[in-house]
A = this chain, B = another copy of it.
Amino acid sequence: MSESAANAISDVGALLRPASIAVVGASANPDSPGHDYVRCLVEFGFSGPVYPVHRRESEILGLTAYADLDAIPGDIEFVISCIPSGGVLELLDSCARKGVRTVQLFTGRFSETGREEDAELEREVLRRAQAANLRLLGPNCMGLHDPGWGISFRPDLPRRTGPVGFLSQSGNNTTEVLIHSDVRGIGYRAAVSYGNALDLDAADLLTFMAGDGETRAIGAYIEGVRAGRRFLDALGGAARSKPVIVFKGGRTGAGARSAVSHTSALAGSNEVWQGALRQTGAIEVHSQDELIDLFVAFTLLGEAPSGDRVGAVGGGGGRAVQAADACTEEGLEVPPLSEDIRSQIRERAPDLWDWIGNPVDQSILAGSGAGVSGAAVLEMMAESPDFDLLIANVGEDWVLGRPDSGRRLMHIVERFAEIGVRCRKPVAYVIGPADSPDEARWRAVEGARTLLIDAGLAVFPTVERAAWALGRYVRWHRSHA
């Protein structure tokens, strides 16, 4: 790595982990972003000084408030702006006087409105910031979510830390991805909503996350980039070292038109993007669900798989067929049970050993009264040299129709979890979404899933989504071996 590249990395990293923060446009009104930003710093436990700035208030959320930046006694590294766009130029001047390093502009209504005066103001903001050596995040962004550093933009966002880095031009998408991936056990090193990308852009954030030792997988929701070559270099550099998952917005004419009024992004030709993603080895996804499924695969399945041979257990015969079809169509192998496993089953279940295949149809075992369970076969597969990846279908819909179902479900999940925690092979667990209006059902499924999540295991809502993610996980590791 060149010296300047190394400097760039540590610079962006330092910018995003400031020692002191002022919130300009802080508010006592709990229904305002100026309140949320201050409250997050308090509730997420930011360890440095926090300075709310408000013209009249003397205290906000128990913190001393200041009339302006100049009135603040200490140094300020990072400023969050929630004031209207008309006040931003003046704010930048006072930031320059205080030696601020970075300004995060929640403030919007710049070029994204499509009006020339707003676009001109945005250009002037950039000129003023560059002249004063200030870096900008945004404008028109929610900004940083870094629970490990005590920063977020909404008090209800998950506190979970972890190895994922996420950059997104959309604040709402960032929120949605954070909330729905938390349910799957995904924690964040940093999530950065960066809006119009006037200064700090996708290239800067990708380079920072690529160089960050604690980030193991990177996701990006991108609507457009200005400096194409710089972006491609950054994307290529990042994708060489870790999985980079790109959700490109504005792939179509109508999507590109929407992107302009969202972040003033020029979406660019979809063909060019496709080529760039292929060339750099980034993985493209087309929905938040796919993005989250790959965060799960690349951070919770463990190290590189030894191959592509899948062993699957659990669920009924239909699920076994579905698992086999889905895995095969995703380019994985679903071999028959090996002789070694067949002879182990024969000893314990002489009545049905010859009927059981891979995937294992749980209903054959359930009906037998024989001494072999789905978990027992999963364990055989975990220990066998003939399988590289495992799928454990919890099959909760069957269990929940039986008496004493809650206890039975937890027993199955505990046994499955033990095997996954001990095993060095990637294991994908399948348990459906707990989205039932029936409280007992919600509690049972949520409890079982939480047990798996808390054990650090990779959980998918359907076997097709598990197979889809396993396929991409195997191919990525094959091309990065």
Q: Which residue of B lies closest to A176 (CB)?
A: B397
Could you say which of A173, A180, A250, A254 has the most chain B C-beta atoms within 10 Å of its C-beta?
Answer: A254
| Distance between Cα atoms of A169 and B171 in the complex (Å) | 45
Closest to A464 in B: B287
Pick the 10 closest A-B CB pairs, nearest first: A170-B318, A172-B316, A262-B317, A173-B318, A255-B325, A254-B334, A252-B328, A254-B324, A433-B435, A249-B321
Stretch at the interface among A6-14, A49-57, A67-75, A355-363: A355-363
B residues in contact with A179, CB < 8 Å = 397, 436
Judged by a CB distance under 8 angstroms, whether A386 is at the interface is no
Q: How many copies does the complex hold?
A: 2
Q: Is the CB of B321 within 8 A of A262?
A: yes
Pairwise interchain contact B114-A355, C-beta atoms closer than 8 A: yes
* A:239-256 near B, CB below 8 Å: 249-255
Q: Which residues of B contact A323 (CB under 8 A)?
A: 258
A321 B115 Cβ-Cβ under 8 A: no
Compute how far the CA of A303 lies from the CA of B36 in the bound complex, rounded to whole angstroms.
45
| Residues on A facing B (Cβ under 8 Å) | 30-31, 36, 108-109, 112-115, 154-157, 168-173, 175-176, 179-180, 183, 221, 223, 249-255, 257-259, 261-263, 286-289, 315-329, 333-336, 352, 354-357, 359, 361, 363-364, 367, 395, 397-398, 400-403, 432-437, 442, 445-446, 449-450, 461-462, 464
- Whether the Cβ atoms of B401 and A156 lie closer than 8 Å is yes
Whether B172 contacts A252 by the Cβ 8 Å rule is no
Q: Which residues of B have CB within 8 Å of A253?
A: 328
Closest-by-CB residue of B relative to A169 is: B318
Q: Which residues of B contact A172 (CB under 8 A)?
A: 315-319, 363, 395, 397-398
Q: Enumerate chain B residues within 8 angstroms of A249, measured Cβ to Cβ.
A: 318, 321-322, 325
Min C-beta distance of A54 to chain B, whole Å: 19
